[in-house]
Structure 1
Amino acid sequence: MTEPRYSLRTRLASGLTKSAAALSRATGRGDGAVIGGRVGQMIDPEFLANLAAGRRIALISGTNGKTTTTRLTAAALGVLGNVATNSLGANMPHGHMSALVKAGATPFAVLEVDEHYLADVLKKTKAELVALLNLSRDQLDRAQEVATVAAKWRTMLTGAPEVHVIANCDDPMVTWAASAATQVTWVAAGQRWLDDSWVCPECGSRIERHGEQWFCVNGDLTRPMPQWQVEGDGVVDPTGVFHEVHLQLPGRVNKANAATALAVAAYFGAPTLRSLPKLAEVTSIAGRYATVVRDDRVIRLLLSKNPAGWLEAFDMAEDAPTLLAINARDPDGLDTSWLYDVDFSPVRGRRVLITGDRAMDLAVRLEVNEVPFEHVTSFEKALAAIPPGRLEVIANYTAFQDIRAELDRVN
């Protein structure tokens, strides 16, 4: 791809974006993705559209798994050429601007997009593909209802007949939204969290489930036939060929994320056999799934931000001492009532420690679930409380960042 001929305004905005991001990093205020894009847009109001021009773009959205799937997709598509991507998860328009500036001229871009911003980003970038992963409740004090987001997606796709959609056919909400598109590739990515999809979004009737199949009892919505599906330790492609998938990321959910990544890459023409080894090179994503050795303890970090995410984390975590950390700062959402949507019984029988700003809210929830626990006031005290060996850490967003910062200070 040749360097695009940006206007003077866009070139100036790009330079100031880089400078603002660098200053943010130098002063320890963050990676600079958001402030960089904000400064750029002040100079060029059409900054995102101008940066997107000339690239083939895929947008990845959903409640959970966006960052991981974006990273896997960028790796899979990278066999065809350089890929611009917001790999650290700044998933709103300012983050997209910074990512595109940082990457320079690339033939492709894979952008993680917050589900509430998807329609706006699609319009501005003119992306040719959208991947829809899942929809579930998230940060109840500020996030929209699941049905509202699904309806917005459906309206978005109704007005964008040229967009190809890759969608999870196991999630009825996603299926309903994606069914408005004229071109859909269905991926059987699974759905462990069911509590937001007992009712048909089309007619309000009950959804029945029998094994992998689901359908609205009124006949208005039925699980589509998937072209891609997770099967055992691998993925079956649309031709029926089974591909073993080797990942350094834990859990079945990441096999599903890999299936979506392969489907996106294949749409753009990447041979699956060439993309598969690239998936195996992806390790931790912004610290998620990272394993750190400290003081004879093997510590694994799992990020969980909402009920569906906690369900998946419990599936990934080994039967070992487990630290649960909960904060309720602005990035987490201030309302912790979502804890009562989480079934904590999977950790019953393990040694459970709790910490964080809102540890007492978690303590009450664990009491209700009859899960014994120990309260510790810091991550350091949690480490001191357990013997040498493995420690699983499951934390929501800012609690996760606090623990990462503590580990980084020592290491």
Structure 2
Amino acid sequence: MAGNPEPLSARAKLAVTAGRAAAAVSRAAGRGSGSVIGGKVALRLDPDLLAEVAHHLDIVLVSATNGKTTTTRLIAEALRANGGVVSNALGANMPAGITSALAGGSEAQYGVIEVDEKYLATVARDVTPKAIALLNLSRDQLDRAAETRMLAERWREGLSGSKAVIIANADDPLVVWAASSSPNVVWVAAGQEWKDDAWSCPACGGVMQRPGDDWFCGECGFRRPTPSWALSGDEVLDPHGSAWPIKLQLPGRANKANAATSAAVAAAFGVPPQTALERMHAVTAVAGRYDVVTFQEREVRLLLAKNPAGWLETFSLIDAPPAPVILSVNARGADGTDTSWLWDVDYSKLAGHPICVIGDRKLDLAVRLEVAGVDFQVCDNAVAAVRACPPGRIEAIANYTAFQDLRRVVGN
């Protein structure tokens, strides 16, 4: 277990104070929580601050293309059964935001930290985690992030020889290849709905064979490892073969998979599966995701989908027609400016739903829907889109900055 926090050095104290002041100014100016700018200021004054504020904590790092914010929240709830937790719950997942979060956790025992895929190796080097959860890798922000095989290679190199317990998804070949460089891996059968980024073997480039739920490379023999934890319907199977019911208010198969991984992480810290899964029931929404908001006399459910894998999972949450759907896509810095990923999403799954399209790139999305043969109308903004829908439930799906824009409009 982590020990009591040692007093920060004079330089670290100055850096933390300056960072908090910068964050306060940012909040006062209405520019968000200030955690990122606060962390940047603090790290400029003390480049070693991240390691210093993490020293006394048992750290869990969570990284993936999709699901890391939710899984971070679920793990944090589970570990609170054993002690205090500090976490970057709002998703500021690069070194600056992580530093800001950990700087506020002097009395905590655990640090549960979401990490951007590009920065996993760097952050792991600085904070010496006890556990690292790896959920999935798929295409996302290709103008900013590396191609998925390159990201997996960075993970593989960064985790080589790591003393952390790696809790990894046995159903994603890219994750398995990355995690296999570590001597201590706990495999979880969490599933993989989106497979279009894992048809070639990351080890040799051969064609991956996928009979049923299994996978293997016919050329080099790289194959799915035997999991010790598994998602089975509405239950988690532990290494002893016991089945534990998943108790979630969050919807969908993907969140059950997140819960299975979270239970495996919690067990590594001595929290029994039953306790962990019961505590996860307290999570009703994550940074606005899955919230249902009353707006313009309609009930709007807010759903975040940032890339093809995320959109595939999100479509599975939507009931059969005629529930109206609002789609919003931006292409700002935080989203990635390349919208070519729209062509990898099967929008025909929305056929029969009344669809309204908004966002900075609404015309890009409109062209994609036109080609998919799906009926839609383009609206000027979120208010117009909601008014165009009949009274009742509306499903609103948006990528990252479009989601934040939507939250501001509907008052969430």
2-structure distance, mates of 1:157, 1:43:
28
Who is 1:189 aligned against? 190
Which residue identity is paired with 1:277?
E
1:325 maps to 2:328? yes
Which residue identity is paired with 2:278?
P
Mapping for residues 186-335 of structure 1, pairs under 5 Å:
186-319=187-320, 320-335=323-338
Shift of 1:357: 1.2
1:165 maps to 2:166? yes
Cα pair distance change 1:156/1:165, threshold 3 Å: same
2-structure distance, mates of 1:295, 1:262:
39
Q: Secondary structure at the match of 1:103?
A: coil
Shift of 1:3: 4.1
Q: Secondary structure at the match of 2:306?
A: coil
Shift of 1:225: 1.0
Tell me if structure 2 keeps the 8 A contact 1:136–1:308.
Answer: yes
Who is 2:11 aligned against? 9
Which residue identity is paired with 2:173?
P
Tell me if structure 2 keeps the 8 A contact 1:318–1:392.
Answer: no
Who is 2:345 aligned against? 342
Which residue identity is paired with 1:233?
D
Which residue identity is paired with 2:200?
V
Who is 1:176 aligned against? 177
Mapping for residues 81-230 of structure 1, pairs under 5 Å:
81-160=83-162, 162-230=163-231
Runs of 5+ unmatched residues, structure 1: none
Q: Secondary structure at the match of 2:341?
A: helix
Shift of 1:295: 3.1
Normalised to the residue count of structure 1, the TM-score between the two structures is 0.97
Q: Secondary structure at the match of 1:331?
A: coil
Q: Secondary structure at the match of 2:255?
A: helix
Q: Secondary structure at the match of 1:185?
A: strand
> Which digits, 9 at most, give the CA deviation of each residue in 1:258-308, with x for residues without a partner?
111111111011122222221000111111111112233111011111111
Who is 1:70 aligned against? 72
1-structure distance, mates of 2:39, 2:387:
42
Tell me if structure 2 keeps the 8 A contact 1:57–1:125.
Answer: yes
Runs of 5+ unmatched residues, structure 2: none
Shift of 1:84: 1.0
Q: Secondary structure at the match of 1:404?
A: helix
Which residue identity is paired with 2:94?
M
> Which digits, 9 at most, give the CA deviation of each residue in 1:194-220, with x for residues without a partner?
111001111111111121111111242
Q: Secondary structure at the match of 2:101?
A: helix
Q: Secondary structure at the match of 2:185?
A: strand
Q: Secondary structure at the match of 2:138?
A: coil
2-structure distance, mates of 1:22, 1:281:
30
Among all aligned residue pairs of Structure 1 and Structure 2, give the percentage whose two residues are the same amino acid. Answer: 52
1-structure distance, mates of 2:129, 2:84:
17
Q: Secondary structure at the match of 1:384?
A: helix
Shift of 1:15: 1.9
Normalised to the residue count of structure 2, the TM-score between the two structures is 0.97
Moved more, 181-190 or 271-280: 271-280
2-structure distance, mates of 1:120, 1:220:
31
Tell me if structure 1 keeps the 8 A contact 2:141–2:336.
Answer: yes
1:370 maps to 2:373? yes
Shift of 1:105: 2.5
1-structure distance, mates of 2:186, 2:29:
45
> Which digits, 9 at most, give the CA deviation of each residue in 1:66-106, with x for residues without a partner?
10100101111111101111000000011111101122231
> Which digits, 9 at most, give the CA deviation of each residue in 1:27-79, with x for residues without a partner?
21110110111111122120001011021111000111110100101111111
Which residue identity is paired with 2:314?
A
Moved more, 288-297 or 299-308: 288-297
Shift of 1:4: 2.4
Shift of 1:224: 0.9
1-structure distance, mates of 2:4, 2:186:
31
Shift of 1:350: 1.1
Shift of 1:239: 1.1
